[in-house]
């Protein structure tokens, strides 16, 4: 007899908790990010025995910002980048794309040609939280880029 498989149901409560926690961690790492409106590099951090972390602002609107968290090293031949949207009104952070992917769907159908997990988006949000924890514990701010206005 064939077992009937249940359709995957995302755990919305857990996803929202992770997103709220990640939002708080992003604000700890980049405290003035809400006021930052100029696109481009926002901050750079050095992490012991790791490639440096660059945080860039990709998009800014009244209630949302899209950030890129990027680590790369030619010496180690590695690169990782997560595109994260901050929802300031809801105080949530959500991974939009990551680890060389385009926009992530909420749920992948299984089976799929890329062999993705059904809950890949939830896993990347969990990974973001763990990565931010590591950065908060080990990263040192090298430079924080700001708008500089000069009145002559």
- Kindly report the average pLDDT of the chain as a whole number: 81
pTM: 0.78
> Is the bond into 52 cis (omega within 30 degrees of 0)?
no
The tokens of 18 are what? Answer: 């992770």
Residues linked to residue 56 through DSSP beta bridges, in sequence order: 41, 68
Q: How large is the average pLDDT for residues 23-28?
A: 97
User: pLDDT tens digits for 115-131?
Assistant: 556 567 788 899 899 98
- Contact assessment for residue 66 and residue 83, using Cβ atoms and an 8 Å cutoff: yes
d(CA 124, CA 36): 25
- Contact assessment for residue 12 and residue 20, using Cβ atoms and an 8 Å cutoff: no
């Amino acid at each position: 007899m064939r077992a009937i498989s249940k359709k995957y149901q995302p755990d919305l409560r857990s996803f929202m908790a992770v997103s709220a926690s990640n939002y708080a961690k992003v604000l700890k790492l980049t405290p003035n990010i809400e006021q930052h409106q100029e696109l481009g590099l926002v901050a750079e951090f050095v992490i012991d025995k790791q490639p440096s972390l660059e945080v860039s602002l990709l998009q800014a609107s009244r209630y949302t910002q899209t950030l890129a968290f990027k680590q790369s090293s030619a010496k180690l031949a590695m690169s990782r980048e997560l595109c994260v949207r901050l929802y300031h009104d809801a105080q949530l952070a959500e991974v939009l794309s990551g680890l060389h992917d385009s926009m992530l769907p909420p749920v992948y159908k299984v089976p799929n040609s890329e062999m993705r997990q059904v809950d890949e988006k939830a896993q990347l949000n969990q990974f973001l939280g763990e990565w931010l924890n590591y950065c908060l514990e080990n990263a040192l701010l090298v430079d924080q880029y700001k708008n500089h206005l000069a009145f002559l």
